[in-house]
Structure 1
Amino acid sequence: MRFLVFLSLALFSVITSAQTIQVLDQNTQQPISGVAIFNHEKTKSGVTDFDGFVSISNFEASEEITFQHISHVLLRFTKKEIQDGGGIVYLSEDASKLDEIVLSVSKFGQQKRDIPQQVLSVTSDDVLFSNPQTAADLLKSTGQVYIQKSQLGGGSPNIRGFSTNRLLITVDGVRFNTAIFRSGNVQNVISIDPFSVESTEVVLGPGSVVYGSDAVGGVMNFYTKKPKFSFVEGTSVSGTAAARYATASEEKTGHFDFNIGTKEWAFLTSVTYSDFGDLRMGSNGPDDYLRNEYAATINGEDVEVINDNPLVQVATGYHQINTMQKVRYMPSEKWDFNLGLFYTTTGDYPRYDRLIRKKDGNLRAAEWYYGPQEWLSGNFQARNTAYAGGIYDESLITVSYQRFKESRHDRDFGKTTLFETEENVSAYSAAWDFEKDFTNGKFNYGVEYVYNKVHSEGKQTEITNGISTPDASRYPDGSSWQSMAAYSSLQYNLAEKLSLQGGLRYNHIIVAASFEDGFYDLPFEEANINTGALTGSIGLAWNPSKTLGWRANFGTAFRAPNIDDVGKIFDSEPGSVVVPNPNLKPEYATTGEVGATLNFEDVVKIDLATYVTHLKDALVRRDFELNGETEIEYQGELSNVQAIQNAAKAKVYGFEAGLEVNFCEQLQFTSQYNITDGFEEDDNGEHYPLRSAAPQYGNSHLIFKTNKLKFDAFVEYNGQFDYQDLAPSQQANDYLYAKDSNGDPYAPKWHTLNFGAQYSVTEALQLNAVLENITDQRYRPYSSGITAAGRNLIVSANYKF
């Protein structure tokens, strides 16, 4: 009798464990969400969740189940066949119906054709082939995100004429921007490891309805890899090992990840280490970019050393380590729990653009470097699929803690005082997002709370004896930034081929800072900002035929003042110092966009878009008075006083064009081109070029692929900015640019020829090689402080087990 009971329980366990199955893409092995399953009579049905899971418990063993998805070929299996196959169903792509599922616009899956905004997607396969050295390079590969670099350890994105704190970054749906993201170029994005990213989505245009402050020009969402469960008895183990070398920077990168999966638990560990040497520039281009000399300290004395090879940008190398640990628990098809832990850090890395500045013909700085940039993050997510008839069909709870650390160290040439500041930001956030499906659409809503605590300290260190004394901090120590918000959005199918999407969000921002360090005589002791912002968007996606698709979108966005705007003290440019300003209010943007897609039998595809953005009450750096004084002494130098002020408005407009030609299954041509222009207007009605508007730029790829081989011959190109096209702040930073025939700074046009190849030696082993800048051009992307790599061979090997 006991044996029969045991046997019955065992059989019951086997049967119930096979009631939840997973649907995967046959080529990518990735889960497919939104797959409809139903029987012949359509009396029984289900839909796969975000990770491709669905229950088949209400189907009979001999009953045939249909699997239908808009971008995959329809398939039918009996329940028994699925269970005998291990509970996994593979679907192959249907090229004639292919449509991406996008997460970034509502935080839940939506078909791309129903979204009125333009969204770019980069998959892990794209990352594997293009071999980006950092997450900034990953974004650059899209052809629609411009990247500025002040040093090798950097990369500041620019989207549609907006950059830095007017763009928002998220990792697994968690806000990555902090209260000290500045208007100048930021390099925080390099803390995100491309090897750990499953997919990247870039929303072009405003995203404040879902994401709040800072999402003015666009949103960059990085979704990291998730642990995989085992669908066989016992425990499954899999992983990847990779190695990469690049000649221009002598980069040496090693990576490994491994996954342990059971029926309900899964664990994923990822580690990447990179070491970069000094970057070599190209040999053909302006001599203004050459590194002819550099500063060194020999026997305690600062000296200018003649560079043996001016093509090598001395003092650009650094190293970095990225780690990630994921834990996932899925007790049933209705609950999915995910814990993500991240830690990344760099070594000290030089601020190259500050090291090439000169004063009276001599190098100005003996040292200028960032201390280790650290990012520690823990986020917990609980996804729940509700029973029918509730107020939501799916909900997502996200709770996170992040700690950001950065520091700056600079010393003038010939001086013995090293000025140092260190900042630590603790960021807490909690969000609860919901989705409710109905017959003709979806309704999303949610709430969010974000709290940032900023700790900042400054000191002066005498390098001759190592003694340090307190000095003014970069930010008011102990300051805080809070955001509370509620939002809702609706995606509604007005007709079979016409979809509307709109939403509203109310955000309340509280900023508190105290200025009592005694180092500066400020006319105020604290800054308190308590303000609200209402933003909204509405758009239409119309697909009247297989050939033609239209989209139109109108949206508003805002950026609330943060601690960097309110309380920063720093040297913005030679001879100028930025001081705090407590009298700030949010800046607002209004954007209109129209786009069209043309698809001629999946042979020729054209994507066009044009947009215009008006920004009012723009937070910009302007001359300022402090206690009636226009100049103060800062770090031993008499400096012009400036402050962030609501002192401008701006207009940004542009045009984007994409082309795809599929000559045959093996040969494809793609091209992307972007034009951005606009102006900034001050209180006097004067117009100035936008600092953040990039020159015309784009890329073109000719791709050939077979089962084992893939080749990519591509060109990247960039337009020219003459002297009159540069913003006043850039005209003043002439050391960043080449000189024209009049001796004025300008950004020359450039292009590079490149070739990439990928070969699958076996199913497990893959080899990649990319030869960049074949003609060895010497060029510097607009507003960058470092010259780009010359001829650069990147080779890598990737092994899966």
Structure 2
Amino acid sequence: MDLAALPIEQLLTLEVYTASRFVQKFSEAPSAVSVVTSADIKAFGWRTVADILRSMRGLYVSNDRNYAYLGARGFLRPGDYNSRFLLLVDGNRNNDAVYDQASIGTEFVLDVDLIERVEFVPGPGSSVYGANAFFGVINIITKKGRDLSGAQASVETGSHGMRKARASYGMRHDSGVEWLFSASSFREDGPDLYFPDFDTPATNNGVARRLDHDRAQNLLMKASLGPWSVAVAHSERTKGVPTASFRQVFNDPRSHTVDTQSYIDAAHRTQLAPDTELSARLYWGRYDYLGDYVYDYPPLTVNRDGSRAAWWGAETKLVTTRADGHKLVMGADVQRDYRRRQFNFDAAPFVSRLDDRRSGNRLGLYLQDEFTLRQDMLLNAGARYDHDSSTGDGSVNPRVALIYKANASTTLKAMAGTAFRAPNAYELYYDLRGPGGQKSNPSLRSERIRTEELSAEHHFSTEARVTASVFRNTVSHLITQTLDPSDGLLIFQNLDRAVARGIELELEKAWTGGARLRSSYSWQQAKDEATGATLANAPRHLAKFNLSAPLPRIGWRAGAEAQYVGQRNTLRAETAGYWIGNLTLSAIRLAPGLELSLSLYNLFDRRYADPGAAEHVQDAIVQNGRTGRLKLSYAF
């Protein structure tokens, strides 16, 4: 569905799934949901899930030139691998079993060209999803065979030696069989980078040469017939590490990481009665990480760090409207993490420094009711019980939302809930003594969040809508990576309490000629309640501007984007706020089946940096200046 073609009035009846685990109207969801479609991805030239998310209200992204990290409402903790967001692909959990990582950069398991839409549900989602649905739930909904209806191919080229190719084929047959197959390959040589912290003759005067390279391959196969569906995906990414993180030797070409992901997902849906549906899912996943780091303890040594994670799981869900005025969803899910291995060794001569082998289980039971109190008022309430063997504790998390339709144009929502995140295997058990090392902390406790939020949605006409939210998040036992000054080793610890409060405003407008505007502003303040200090990497101000419009007479479309991220504290100082602008020009019908797009990122070549984490010598890590991309697509 192309949202750019819909007036705002029709958007109010748009159906979303992720907020409640059943399909409901956008205006009735117990959250201020954000939705991005494939049309938006094309119009603005977004290349990764990180690009998509950073355009959304209240979200921001940092990049340490290896991974992309997502922040929400003032929280982006140094050393966190996106474990406070639950990442779903077609409703299936994608966070791995060692780091609980939500991969949003080039290591993401799918090509973004295969995304039909992205739904982001801010706020605690543990009442229906369990662990990691802490700051929000991201659901990547992929395209179906009918969306392609034949073969597609695309090629791209761009700055810093970037090139990419994709081949896809999808079809829906009269028999009801629907399938899709896609494969893609990406490569980027990357720029040479200057880091003042290493500016000495012994370290190449601070210049890391040919170390920011990136290579990735993706494969997706999907098929469905009637109530049955199956999906198989695989990806592998190799990324150079130019920052000399974890105190390794600077400018050594052997420094790199490899991320490999696979999943199989099989699902079945059946209509037990006209008012009752039962669905079941069985899935398997694997995530392998391998990093080569070079150290100068005698002799010069390649240290190999890695993890192996594998899991299987099953879930069942019942949705029924049998009781008058109620829409009930109840379900259970279990996940067996049968491999949680972490290892570290010197390659030559071989010296084992870490070999930690564990397994674990996750179990969840939930019940939620969407209760029609009267024609203009809904009560959405539910709770979930989770048990995680990592801590041996159970956790109960409720959520309640009162949704009031004040009139045909205005919807008011009052929402409150809690969520939890159990410490992952990396935070609990990774123990590597030595330069750039880390201490384990098996005594870590689960962190918890309590959220209160008020939201209002009002459309002024069929062409314009404004959304406003006021929120307060209170986090207890916040898990934070710190540096122990007594031995110089990293360790994860529970802070006492952190509080974030803020407001979010968003304006959406559509014009009959096909132009569309989405603009937002967020003010947020996140502090350690014990010390009163503002948290690291917590910008007070965020602003987003996205405008796409057809260009008269020439048949092209322009997508202009601007983003502002305010000043952020680093671990030792602060980074300045910055504006960046991006521009994409697209020729949708250059010839039958042929599309061309040209994108310029950081259009005005602004210099800016993201805060580093404790594993970096750099307090802030410089980001790319102006870059470009040319993309050619053909549908056969």
The TM-score normalised by the length of structure 1 is 0.72
Task: Give secondary structure in 2 for the equivalent of 1:113.
Answer: helix
Which residue of 594, 614, 630 corresponds with 1:765? 594
2:81 counterpart of 1:181: no
Q: Provide the residue aligned with 1:251 in structure 2.
A: 162
> 1:106 offset after TM fit, Å?
2.2
1:544-559 equivalences under 5 Å are 544-559=406-421
Query: For 2:213, which of 281, 292, 317 is the aligned residue?
Result: 317
Aligned partner (choices 324, 328, 340) of residue 231 of structure 2: 340
What displacement does 1:305 show?
A: 3.2
The match for 2:24 is 110
Q: CA deviation at 1:371?
A: 3.3
Q: Which residue of 1 aligns with 2:33?
A: 119
In structure 2, do the counterparts of structure 1 residues 138 and 290 end up closer, same or farther at CA, with 3 Å as the change threshold? farther
Relative to 1, partners in 2 of residues 1:94 and 1:695: Cα closer, same or farther, differing over 3 Å?
closer
Within-5 A mapping of 1:152-551: 153-163=66-76, 164-181=82-99, 190-228=108-146, 238-247=150-159, 249-262=160-173, 263-279=175-191, 304-305=203-204, 314-330=210-226, 336-347=227-238, 349-354=239-244, 366=252, 369-388=255-274, 393-413=276-296, 415-438=299-322, 439-452=324-337, 453-462=339-348, 467-473=349-355, 476-477=356-357, 479-511=358-390, 529-551=391-413
> Which residue of the partner structure matches residue 6 of structure 1?
none
Q: Which residue of 1 aligns with 2:617?
A: none
Q: 1:545 to 1:213 in 2, by over 3 A?
A: same
2:276 and 2:320 in contact (8 A); partners too: yes
Structure 2 match to 1:45: none
Instruction: Read off the aligned partner of 1:411 and give its amino acid letter.
Output: V
Query: Tell me, what secondary structure is at the counterpart of 2:146?
Result: coil
Instruction: Choose the corresponding residue for 1:717, options 544, 548, 564.
Output: 564
State whether structure 2 residue 522 is matched by structure 1 residue 693.
Answer: no
Q: Is the 8 A contact 1:651 1:680 kept in 2?
A: yes
State the Cα distance separating 1:448 from its structure 2 match: 0.4
Specify the code of the residue in structure 2 equivalent to 1:672: S
How far has the Cα of 1:385 moved from its partner? Answer: 1.9
What is the RMSD of the two structures over their aligned residues, measured on CA atoms?
3.1
Aligned counterpart in structure 1 of residue 630 of structure 2, from 795, 798, 801:
795
For 1:183 and 1:106, the matched residues in 2 are separated by: 23
- The question of whether the paired residues in 2 share the 8 Å contact of 1:405 and 1:422 is answered with yes
> Any conservation in 2 of the 1:354–1:368 contact (CA below 8 Å)?
no
The separation in 1 between residues aligned to 2:218 and 2:110, in whole angstroms, is: 8
Q: From 466, 474, 477, give the equivalent of 1:614.
A: 474
In the other structure, the counterpart of 1:4 is none
Pairwise CA distance, 1:800 = 1.8
Percent of residue pairs identical? 19
The residue identity in structure 2 corresponding to 1:598 is H
CA drift at 1:197: 1.7
**Distance 1:138-1:410 versus aligned 2 partners, 3 A rule:** same
- Contact 2:164–2:184 under 8 Å retained in 1: yes
Contact 2:364–2:384 (8 Å) recurs in 1: yes
Shift of 1:537: 0.3
- Aligned pairs for 1:565-584 (under 5 A) are 565-570=427-432, 577-584=437-444
Q: Which residue of 1 aligns with 2:454?
A: 594
Is the 1:145–1:157 contact (alpha carbons within 8 Å) kept by the matching residues of 2? yes
How much does 1:294 deviate? 9.5
Which whole-Å CA distance do the structure 2 matches of 1:398 and 1:537 have between them? 24
TM-superposed deviation, 1:622: 5.1
Describe the superposition over 1:238-285 as per-residue Cα deviations: whole angstroms up to 9, x where unpaired: 1221122222x331111111024321322210111110121378xxxx
Residue identity in the other structure for 2:501 = Y
SS of the equivalent of 2:131 reads coil
Cα distance change on mapping 1:162 and 1:451 into 2, 3 Å: farther
> Structure 1 pair 754/584, CA: closer, same or farther in 2 (3 Å)?
closer
**1:177 is paired with a residue of what secondary structure?**
coil
Structure with higher RCO (Cα < 8 A, 6+ apart): 2
Structure 2: distance between partners of 1:664 and 1:461 = 63
Residues 621, 771 of structure 1: CA spacing in aligned structure 2 closer, same or farther, 3 A cutoff? closer
> Is the contact made by 2:288 and 2:309 (CA closer than 8 Å) also made in structure 1?
yes
Which residue number in structure 2 is paired with residue 96 of structure 1? 9
Q: 1:382–1:397: 8 Å Cα contact kept in structure 2?
A: yes
> Match of 1:376, as an amino acid?
S
CA distance in 2 between partners of 1:585 and 1:188 (Å):
32
SS in 2 for 1:372: strand
Cα deviation digits, residues 211-244 of structure 1 (max 9, x gap): 1011111111112223339xxxxxx961221122
Which of 508, 511, 525 is 1:677 aligned to? 525
Partner Cα distance (2:102, 2:110) in 1? 20
Q: Which amino acid aligns with 1:530?
A: G
Q: Note closer, same or farther for the CA distance 1:353–1:304 as it changes in structure 2 (3 Å cut).
A: closer
Match of 1:34 in 2: none
Q: Deviations over 1:758-787 (max 9, x none)?
A: 222245222212222222111123448643
What are structure 2's unaligned runs of at least 5 residues?
77-81, 614-619
Contact 1:561 1:584 in 2 (8 A): yes
Could you tell me how far apart the structure 1 residues matched to 2:271 and 2:523 are? 43
Q: 3-state DSSP class of the match of 2:426? A: helix
Q: Number of paired residues? A: 617
* Deviations 1:364-398, CA, capped at 9 Å, x for gaps: 5746734321001111011112223xxx6222211
> d(CA) in 1 for partners of 2:547 and 2:318?
42
Note if contact 2:192-2:211 (Cα within 8 Å) is conserved in structure 1. Answer: no
Secondary structure at the counterpart of residue 269 of structure 1: strand
Do the aligned partners of residues 327 and 368 (structure 1) sit closer, same or farther apart at CA in structure 2, a change above 3 Å counting?
A: same
Larger radius of gyration: 1
Q: TM-score, normalised by structure 2?
A: 0.89
1:157 deviation in Å? 1.3
With over 3 angstroms needed to count, the CA separation of the structure-2 counterparts of 1:223 and 1:703, relative to structure 1, is closer
Range with greater deviation from structure 2 (400-409 or 666-675): 666-675
Q: Distance in 2 between matches of 1:661 and 1:265?
A: 39
Shift of 1:128: 2.1
One-letter amino acid matched to 2:332: V
Deviates more, 1:488-497 or 1:553-562: 488-497
Cα distance in 2 between the residues matched to 1:171 and 1:271: 17
